Homo-oligomer: A and B are copies of this chain.
Amino acid sequence: MTDALDERLHTLDAWWRAANYVSVGQIYLLDNPLLRRPLEPTDIKPRLLGHWGTTPGLNLVWTHLNRLIRERDVNAIVLAGPGHGGPVAVANAWLEGVYSAVYPQIGQDEEGLRRLFRQFSFPGGVPSHVAPETPGSIHEGGELGYVLSHAYGAVLDNPDLVAVAVIGDGEFETGPLAASWHANKFVDPTHDGAVLPVLHLNGYKIANPTIPARIPREELESLLRGYGHEVLTVEGDDPMDVHRQMLVAMDAAHDRIREIQRLAREEGDVVRRPWPMILMVTPKGWTGPGMVDGQQVEGTWRAHQVPLAGTRDDDGHRKLLEEWMRSYGPEELFDQDGRPVAALLEIAPSGPRRTSANPHANGGVLRNPLDLPHFSGAAVEVAEPGGSIHEPTRVLGTYLAEVMRRNADNFRLFGPDETASNRLDAVYEVTDKVFGAEILESDEHLAHTGRVMEILSEHTCQGWLEGYLLTGRHGLFSCYEAFIHLVDSMLNQHAKWLKTTRTLEWRPPIASLNYLLTSHVWRQDHNGFSHQDPGFIDHVVNKKAEVVRVYLPPDTNTLLSTMQHCLASMHYVNVVVAGKQPSYDWLDAEQADLHCARGLGIWEWASTGGPEPDVVLACAGDVPTLESLAAAALLREHLPDLAVRFVNVVDLMRLQDERAHPHGLSDRAFDAVFTTDKPVVFAYHGYPWLIHRLTYRRTNHDNIHVRGYLEEGTTTTPFDMVMMNDLDRYHLVMDVIDRVPGLGQRAAGVRQFMEDTRRRARAWTREHGEDLPEVQQWRWPGSAAG
């Protein structure tokens, strides 16, 4: 080893020791942060809630990445996949001076260090996982599996950025992580940055060895090469030896990344090449206590959490802790005031090159609003309600195409092989689907550069989009309604991130996470029961009201208006459910805009009678709106004296009261629409009880009768589906008759006719495989459509 190299390695080691020291201190200490005196029981936290196992390896990555950033002026962020990596990110941010800048009460001195230690996993403090509160983070380390897809999302359209993604060998076993390795086939080396995966093999998860650590190394390397990577291995337990290997590996990986990018950018050579990755094999709990109470801890799963559990009460454990912390040489690392010594401060990157201060990890500061066209440019002409037919998502595609034209580096569309199926293919006039693997002449709209991302993994799509949003850009995820449940738990984590960051002033808001759920429950004509589930809405509304919005536009123009609104919004989760099948237009652009702005409203043209209704027909969702309008038409024909108020709901959150949700209507406004005492027959897109849950505090709640999806379905016709769930027009009319006081007797014949028609419709469908002609050809009274 040359002297110069030797010195570099010792400097790196000093940083690593400092980071380890500050990490251990967070796990254990309430006080005495610099060990100026022997540790006393009262210096130790009453509840030890940290995890040491993953820490030294993560600190190694931070240490060496900092070296690379400094020496080569690299623009890099780091994402910690392993759980409980919080102390690491916090320790390095503090050493870099960023933590104290963001949180001035935590100074870069002894008192600051004391507070830093104390607050970790302490009530009112910071979590054990890397979290929204952690400077430099776009990735919560709590739920495993998403670190690679987040990292890939971050580097899209960020050609200079390198995202280092540390994958724990536990996380390695999860499905979402396993799928996301293939995200490397969607990186465009010309216009995107690079991800450097670091697979940290420390051998153990909570209570078991990990699979990748217990298969032959050549088998693991075969797997990683199969994922499309060149594997650079760093392995050992001698710190200086590992430092040397890591330094070489980081340089080699960076050289390789830059070479792939140079070939693409300077020579136009975009042939896919294996991207580098680092396989880092170091002991779990490395440099921590070796043997405790006669059992091996370092290098085993016993190092996963707190390797010395009795440090408050057990003098022996406390002594081991003190020895352990002193082994890092704090006296060389911190000065008399508790500041990191100059030699450490000098090797930190500076300004925004510090990973904890990199603006890409705080996307709100980089976010540029979309240049959004007004939707009226894409709107369809609607001369009269029901006078024309369009495929809502197909028209939306033309709007999205214009959005993508105007926001070439700031917006992407994500989907699991469903963009065309969901009829958004107008976007291909503007851009292509990006694909880094082989492209054949026969492929359409597939290119090495493109802004539509399709992989048959909802998890990867969601992770990409989250990473893209968290680094300051905008996007839309279109998905079959039933299968968006695949990302339920990812949605949880993102919604929690949004909720938490609302109160962090230093994190400006990011763009909303927008879902277009189409191919929905009512039109799964050829897929049947397995594809019928409208429950994602229920899942979403359990999240904090401030961050979730649900929209059910009933036709093409309302879909356009809704989507424009969602794309312009910030820091929400917006769920838009809309059909792709040909369906009637009800509102022109102006009416649609007004209706969507109100969120819900009375459709006078579909109502009958004076201002005092006998019954309210309410609906939310495109198919329920169709059935409700058909019911209104039937009532008009068969019971012309009945005063029917027709109400359509686009913004589902309007139904809640204003105390429960920011969009909630006041009780007064709600009562004005839904009355305080008239029966309400409500046709809803999803599970009916959600409407009860949203309205149970309303004056008229006891009179609200909801029809929706009752988990009845199969492969059948559209009208048979609504009949199976009693949401059809005939049943809605029967509901009205049953609920309007005094109507039952008078309308017995009408009710019987409805029942007979239902029976006839069922039989017709079984016989012909199609819906009853009068249903297929139904049109709103007086309209010219057909």
Q: Chain A: residues with CB nearer than 8 A to chain B?
A: 30, 45-47, 49-51, 121-129, 131, 140, 142-145, 170-171, 173-182, 185, 205-211, 214-215, 219-228, 296, 300, 417-421, 433, 435, 437-440, 442-443, 446, 454-460, 482-483, 485-486, 488-489, 492-493, 496, 499-500, 525-531, 533, 535, 538-539, 542-544, 687, 689-690, 692-693, 696, 701, 711, 714-717, 720, 765-766, 768-770
> A456 and B144: CB pair below 8 A?
yes
> B47 and A770: CB pair below 8 A?
yes
> B457 and A525: CB pair below 8 A?
no
Closest to A489 in B: B485
Residues of B within 8 A of A228 (CB): 215, 219
Top 10 A-B pairs ranked by shortest CB distance?
A: A223-B226, A142-B530, A175-B175, A49-B526, A178-B178, A175-B179, A214-B437, A485-B489, A222-B226, A173-B456
Given contacts A443-B209, A456-B174, A489-B485, contact A714 B47 (CB under 8 A): no
CB-contact partner of A170 in B121, B420, B456, under 8 A: B456
Residues of B within 8 A of A539 (CB): 488, 535, 538-539
The CA-CA distance from A122 to B185 in the complex, in Å, is: 40
> A47 and B417: CB pair below 8 A?
no
Q: Give A545 Cβ to nearest chain B Cβ, in Å.
A: 9
Residues of B within 8 A of A457 (CB): 173-175
Closest to A720 in B: B123
- Offer 16 A-B interface pairs, CB within 8 angstroms, sorted by A: A122-B715, A122-B769, A123-B765, A124-B716, A127-B529, A142-B529, A174-B457, A178-B179, A206-B420, A206-B421, A209-B443, A210-B456, A221-B226, A222-B222, A222-B223, A535-B539
Closest to A531 in B: B142
> B123 and A530: CB pair below 8 A?
no
The CA-CA distance from A567 to B492 in the complex, in Å, is: 30
> A442 and B296: CB pair below 8 A?
yes
The CA-CA distance from A34 to B373 in the complex, in Å, is: 57
Given contacts A122-B715, A174-B459, A175-B457, 15 further A-B contacts (CB under 8 A): A47-B770, A49-B526, A50-B526, A121-B715, A143-B482, A170-B456, A174-B457, A178-B178, A207-B420, A207-B454, A208-B454, A214-B439, A486-B489, A538-B542, A544-B711
Residues of B within 8 A of A225 (CB): 219, 222-223, 226
CB-contact partner of A692 in B45, B207, B421, B693, under 8 A: B693
Q: Give A299 Cβ to nearest chain B Cβ, in Å.
A: 9
Closest to A420 in B: B207
Given contacts A179-B173, A226-B223, A227-B223, contact A714 B127 (CB under 8 A): yes
CB-contact partner of A174 in B175, B214, B716, under 8 A: B175
The CA-CA distance from A539 to B715 in the complex, in Å, is: 23
Residues of B within 8 A of A47 (CB): 525-526, 717, 769-770
CB-contact partner of A418 in B173, B206, B535, under 8 A: B206
CB-contact partner of A489 in B226, B488, B529, B715, under 8 A: B488
> B417 and A170: CB pair below 8 A?
yes
Chain B CB count within 10 A is highest, among A488, A493, A690, for A488
Residues of B within 8 A of A486 (CB): 488-489
The CA-CA distance from A437 to B224 in the complex, in Å, is: 18
Closest to A421 in B: B206
Given contacts A170-B417, A489-B483, A542-B535, contact A446 B208 (CB under 8 A): yes
Q: Give A549 Cβ to nearest chain B Cβ, in Å.
A: 15
Q: Give A172 Cβ to nearest chain B Cβ, in Å.
A: 8
The CA-CA distance from A264 to B637 in the complex, in Å, is: 77
The CA-CA distance from A179 to B442 in the complex, in Å, is: 32
Closest to A713 in B: B496
Residues of B within 8 A of A122 (CB): 715, 769
Residues of B within 8 A of A715 (CB): 49, 121-123, 125-128
Closest to A692 in B: B696
> A482 and B492: CB pair below 8 A?
yes
Residues of B within 8 A of A443 (CB): 209
The CA-CA distance from A101 to B635 in the complex, in Å, is: 49
The CA-CA distance from A608 to B482 in the complex, in Å, is: 49
> B215 and A46: CB pair below 8 A?
no
> A175 and B173: CB pair below 8 A?
no
> B720 and A175: CB pair below 8 A?
no
The CA-CA distance from A420 to B304 in the complex, in Å, is: 13
Residues of B within 8 A of A175 (CB): 145, 174-180, 457, 459-460
Q: Give A26 Cβ to nearest chain B Cβ, in Å.
A: 12
Closest to A219 in B: B226
The CA-CA distance from A457 to B208 in the complex, in Å, is: 13
> A143 and B483: CB pair below 8 A?
yes
Residues of B within 8 A of A766 (CB): 123-124
The CA-CA distance from A181 to B176 in the complex, in Å, is: 13
Residues of B within 8 A of A527 (CB): 127-129, 142
> B209 and A440: CB pair below 8 A?
yes
> A182 and B173: CB pair below 8 A?
yes
The CA-CA distance from A179 to B211 in the complex, in Å, is: 11
CB-contact partner of A226 in B220, B499, B528, B533, under 8 A: B220
The CA-CA distance from A121 to B770 in the complex, in Å, is: 12
Residues of B within 8 A of A123 (CB): 715-717, 720, 765-766, 769
> A417 and B716: CB pair below 8 A?
no
> A300 and B528: CB pair below 8 A?
no
The CA-CA distance from A460 to B690 in the complex, in Å, is: 31
The CA-CA distance from A210 to B221 in the complex, in Å, is: 23
Residues of B within 8 A of A496 (CB): 529-530, 711
Q: Give A352 Cβ to nearest chain B Cβ, in Å.
A: 27
Q: Give A781 Cβ to nearest chain B Cβ, in Å.
A: 27
Given contacts A182-B211, A535-B542, contact A456 B223 (CB under 8 A): no
Q: Give A764 Cβ to nearest chain B Cβ, in Å.
A: 9
Residues of B within 8 A of A221 (CB): 226
The CA-CA distance from A171 to B486 in the complex, in Å, is: 14
Q: Give A28 Cβ to nearest chain B Cβ, in Å.
A: 12
Residues of B within 8 A of A455 (CB): 173, 211
Q: Give A780 Cβ to nearest chain B Cβ, in Å.
A: 25
Residues of B within 8 A of A493 (CB): 530
The CA-CA distance from A300 to B441 in the complex, in Å, is: 12
Residues of B within 8 A of A459 (CB): 174-175
The CA-CA distance from A8 to B770 in the complex, in Å, is: 44
Q: Give A439 Cβ to nearest chain B Cβ, in Å.
A: 8
